[in-house]
Amino acid sequence: MNLPNTLSLVRIFLVPFLVVFLIATAEPRNYLAAITFLAAVLTDWLDGRIARSRRQVTTLGQLLDPIADKLLIAAALISLVEIRRVAAWVATVIIGRDIAVTGLRGIAASQGLIIAASQLGKYKMVAEVVAVTFLILDSGVWRLPGLPLSLGAFAVGVAVILSVVSGIDYFLRFWRQLGLGVTVQSKGE
């Protein structure tokens, strides 16, 4: 097993710790959960960078990396719902989009098509990381100047919008690759 795959497994291994730190600690700002979450995010960044630079992209890595990403975000969001930091519908939209896109990419692969990660999908992931981090650290104290929203609530709003828009983008690209007559041009290709 190479280093990038090991880093993906470390990310998966950190998920239960994140959940325990989030749910078991009733502090307004949960630094231990934030550190665990950001350490897991760092493994995501490192495994991709190392795999590409060392040409260690493997089939196992292509399977583990997105599973680890989705598991991390889903576990964080579900835990944040449990401690009432985010609405259940928000977690449902983001997690549902991830499941739908994963399924779509699986169907595409079975047809010999590759739907690469889009720039919108990458922005969505960054927005989710920022949102989850702010929600872990922000109990509504940090406010945007002149707005009733906390930084966490604002970041979650951006993540939801990017989730929906990037999800639509994936489906449009899939239909276009299948030649189903959809001619909408996607940004970020």
- Among 84, 100, 125, which residue terminates a domain? 84
Q: Report the number of distinct structural domains present in the chain.
A: 2
Provide the residue type at 82 as one letter.
Answer: E
Nearest to 70 by CA among 48, 111, 40, 33: 40
Shared-domain flag, residues 176 and 103:
yes
pLDDT in tens, 105-144: 888 888 887 777 788 988 999 999 999 999 998 766 666 6
The model carries a pTM of 0.86
pLDDT in tens, 30-58: 899 999 999 999 998 898 888 888 888 87
User: The domain containing residue 42 runs over which residues?
Assistant: 1-84
Shared-domain flag, residues 73 and 144:
no
Helix (H, G, I), strand (E, B) or coil at 173: helix
Shared-domain flag, residues 69 and 116:
no
- Among 63, 84, 105, which residue terminates a domain? 84
H helices within the chain, ranges in order? 3-24, 31-53, 59-82, 88-110, 119-137, 151-178
Shared-domain flag, residues 75 and 97:
no
pLDDT in tens, 68-85: 999 999 999 999 999 999
At 182, is the pLDDT very low, low, confident or very high (cuts 50, 70, 90)?
very low
